[in-house]
Structure 1
Amino acid sequence: MDSIIFDLDGTIWDSIDTVLSAWNSVIRKNNQIKGELTRKDFEGTMGLQMNEISRKLFPTLSYKEQQQLVKNCAELENCFIEKHGGVLYPNVENVLSELSKKYKLYIVSNCQDGYIEAFYKYHKLEKYFLDFENPGRTSLSKGENINLIIDRNNLSNPVYIGDTEGDLEAARFAKIPFIYAKYGFGQVNHYDRAIESFEDLLSIF
């Protein structure tokens, strides 16, 4: 194995509370939406792309209205993430530091453009990762974005670490092993390895 590709939300950190604050700030100004979103609402969207999230959270709006609302939310979300960050799982930086000494590290997440950069800016973890990708930049699926990372960086034997069924499907699409982060947001029944905490990666690699 020469490299590790990480999902972000539910694998490296939990940013839901920060994201929730940003989205509800936008929603309060929209008279078509009754009530604010909850943490449970967001937990049910983990691993989905933005168009899927908009349909799930705002089913009463037209497609055009959904797209505009989510665009506004995502733009403010990046600002909030950059200023407030999220909750890193225990010992994330120590583990990344150790892993980066032996393996090439990457991120592929189903997020909007600018989200990973905001994560980097607040938590100062960019130095551990060599590249990243997301559908906000490419309009591709997670599996396709994993393949982009593999091709762009000439990886020969990577693994993908994530916490949702969508992460499993993306790894299978890319034909690489999948490690399930059981402490995250999703429920996955099939995987190659599983970890109970981020620190468990040090016992695997």
Structure 2
Amino acid sequence: MDSIIFDLDGTIWDPIDTVLFAWNRCIKNYSEIKRELTRTDLEDTMGLQLQDLSKQLFPYLDEELRMKVVTECCDLEMGYLQKQGGKLYPNVEYVLSVLSKKYKLFIVSNCQDGYIESFYEYHNLEKYFFDYENPGRTGLTKGENIKLIINRNNLISPIYVGDTEGDLNAARYAGIPFVYAKYGFGQVGEYDKVITKFDDLLNI
């Protein structure tokens, strides 16, 4: 193993409380939306790309309006994340500092352009990562973005750490081992290794 590629939401941090506040503030501007979102609503969309996320949250809106709403919500959320951040899982920075001395670390997340940068900016963790990618920049799936990171950085033996079935499928698509972050948002039935807390990565 020469490198570790991480998912972000549900793996390194929990941003939902900040994101939920921003999204509910944004959707108040739309009379077509019948109710505020809940934390459970957002937890159930973790790992989805924006188009699928919009269908799940607002299935009663037409596609054009759905995408307009989620785009505006995402733009607003990044401002809040830059100022308030999310909740890092326990000992994240310590674990990253230890791992980064032995492995190259990366992030591949199904998020919009600017989201990972907001995470970096508030929590000051960019120094531990070599590179990152997301569909907001490339238009590619998570599996394709993992392969892009592998090829761009000449990785020989990476693993992927994530918390959802989509993360598992992306790792399988890229042909690399999958480590399931069981403490995150998703339920995964198949994995190569499992961690119940972020610190467990030090023992793999």
TM-score bucket of the superposed structures, by smaller chain: over 0.9
Cross-structure match for 1:189: 189
Cross-structure match for 1:53: 53
Q: How far, CA to CA, are the matches of 1:142 and 1:50 in structure 2?
A: 12
Cross-structure match for 1:105: 105
Q: Percent of counterpart pairs with the same letter? A: 67
Cross-structure match for 2:77: 77
Q: Which contiguous aligned blocks of 4+ residues in structure 1 show a shift greater than 2 angstroms?
A: none
Q: How many residues get paired?
A: 204
Write out per-residue CA displacement over residues 66-106 of structure 1, whole angstroms, 9 at most, x where no aligned residue.
Answer: 11111100000110110100000000000000000000000
Please give the residue correspondences for 1:1-205 in structure 2 after superposition, counting only pairs within 5 Å. Answer: 1-204=1-204
Q: How far, CA to CA, are the matches of 1:183 and 1:52 in structure 2?
A: 23
Write out per-residue CA displacement over residues 85-144 of structure 1, whole angstroms, 9 at most, x where no aligned residue.
Answer: 000000000000000000000000000100000000000000000000000111110000
Aligned residue for 2:160, secondary structure, equals: strand
Q: How far, CA to CA, are the matches of 2:47 and 2:115 in structure 1?
A: 14
Q: How far, CA to CA, are the matches of 1:39 and 1:181 in structure 2?
A: 20
Q: How far, CA to CA, are the matches of 1:138 and 1:22 in structure 2?
A: 25
**Over aligned residue pairs, what C-alpha RMSD do you find?**
0.4
Q: How far, CA to CA, are the matches of 1:109 and 1:72 in structure 2?
A: 19
Q: How far, CA to CA, are the matches of 2:184 and 2:7 in structure 1?
A: 11
* CA-CA distance at 1:29 after TM superposition: 1.1
Mark the runs of 5 or more structure 2 residues left unpaired by the alignment. none
* CA-CA distance at 1:22 after TM superposition: 0.7
Tell me which amino acid in the other structure corresponds to 2:83.
K
Aligned residue for 2:11, secondary structure, equals: coil
Aligned residue for 1:46, secondary structure, equals: coil
Tell me which amino acid in the other structure corresponds to 1:189.
G
* CA-CA distance at 1:34 after TM superposition: 1.0
TM-score by length of 1: 0.99
Q: How far, CA to CA, are the matches of 2:80 and 2:148 in structure 1?
A: 28
Tell me which amino acid in the other structure corresponds to 1:101.
K
Tell me which amino acid in the other structure corresponds to 2:60.
T
Q: How far, CA to CA, are the matches of 2:105 and 2:21 in structure 1?
A: 30
* CA-CA distance at 1:151 after TM superposition: 0.5
Aligned residue for 2:159, secondary structure, equals: strand
